Amino acid sequence: MKVEVEDYVKGCATCQSTKPCTGVPKAPLNLITVSPNIVPFNIINIDFITKLPPSKGFDSIMMIMDHDCTKAAIFIPCKEQMDTLGTAELYAKYIFPYYGLPKWIISNQDVQFTSAFTRELCVILQIKQNLSSAYHSQTDGLAEQTNQ
């Protein structure tokens, strides 16, 4: 009887259209292509590690990782309430003097990266911005592994 019911449900268009999907949808894999002339910190991934116990006035860490060339990561102490300007100041102090401006920034959708200021700055400086979203871990999965 079980086989007959399964066959009936598989053949019924109404049953198939109203059957709930119980699995998490798999996101398509959109790989980030690497240019042949890559240099360190040309494509970077920025993420924040938050909700940490306070230490010397800081409660978070800004992680900036070289996405393609070396996979190196730089961890910068910061505060969770930091805004777009604070993020830019930390980049200017700890990364820019050594590596310059990136060509591509990969980040999640924190307000520091989705603000009008950041979007406009990326347009002016010709920096591609790649914002990840839920169920698209292939975008910043490498950063999440580094954070752990």
Q: Strand pairing of 43-49 and 73-78?
A: unpaired
Q: How many CB atoms lie within 10 A of CB 41?
A: 23
Q: Does any domain span residue 73?
A: yes
Give me the phi and psi of 51, to 5 degrees please. 60, 40
CA distance 18 to 147: 41
Q: Does any domain span residue 7?
A: no
Q: What is the pTM of this model?
A: 0.60
Evaluate if residue 113 carries a pLDDT over 80: no
Give per-residue pLDDT as tens, 12-61.
Answer: 777 667 767 676 666 555 556 666 778 888 888 888 888 999 999 999 99
Q: Considering its fold, how many domains does the chain have in total?
A: 1
Q: Does any domain span residue 127?
A: yes
Q: Does any domain span residue 42?
A: yes
Q: Which of 7-11, 28-32, 54-58, 112-116 has the highest mean pLDDT?
A: 54-58
Q: Select the more confidently predicted residue: 124 or 99.
A: 99
| CA distance readout (Å), 10 to 1, 3, 25, 51 | 14, 10, 20, 48
CA distance 114 to 131: 8
Give per-residue pLDDT as tens, 56-106.
Answer: 999 999 999 998 888 899 999 999 888 878 888 888 899 989 999 888 887
Q: Does any domain span residue 12?
A: no
CATH number of domain containing 108: 3.30.420.10
Q: Does any domain span residue 18?
A: no
Q: Which of 23, 24, 27, 21 is nearest to 133 (CA)?
A: 27
- Structural domain of residue 84, as residue ranges? 27-147
Q: Report pLDDT for 11.
A: 75
Q: Report pLDDT for 135.
A: 45
Q: Does any domain span residue 48?
A: yes
Q: Report pLDDT for 56.
A: 93
